[in-house]
Structure 1
Amino acid sequence: GHVAPVVALPRPRLTDARPVGTNHIRAELQSQSGGRIQAIAFRAVDTALGEFLFRNRGRTVHIAGSLSGNYWNGNRTVQFRITDAALA
């Protein structure tokens, strides 16, 4: 298989972060121009990344990760897989 490129999203607002599934975090990011993308941090609930996401809802952050397809319940969307984050 191939490894997806890691990209940085500079200064999106973390508009939502909540637990989903067994140990994952579903988030929503909003760009400065108003565009939104759904994001997920796998196995992050009890990690430093998870604590950061929960603690900084509503704030402007820097996010690193990769784009991926999400196929769930018959719907096909694009989501951002979060691997790291920091305050902007």
Structure 2
Amino acid sequence: LIEAGEEIGLGENSREMVLSCLVSTARIVQELNISPEQLVTMVASKGGTTEACLSLWTESNFKQLVKDGVNKALGRAKELER
């Protein structure tokens, strides 16, 4: 996300913007005791920028890629235990 921000011209501000967004999102999800999906429903405007990004991630099967990464790390952790 930081690199993407830099590539679209946010420069050095990209890091701070991304970190601030991630921390704020986590805080809201925790404080309201809601799921990330519920937060998206609350904040994403129909046809807006968030929806456009999430649509691409859904089409690209981003969620499965994250799950695969977690499983790969778990497999490696089990190998290292031996």
Q: Could you state the TM-score of these two structures normalised by the residue count of structure 2?
A: 0.21
Return the structure number with greater strand share: 1
Q: Could you state the TM-score of these two structures normalised by the residue count of structure 1?
A: 0.20
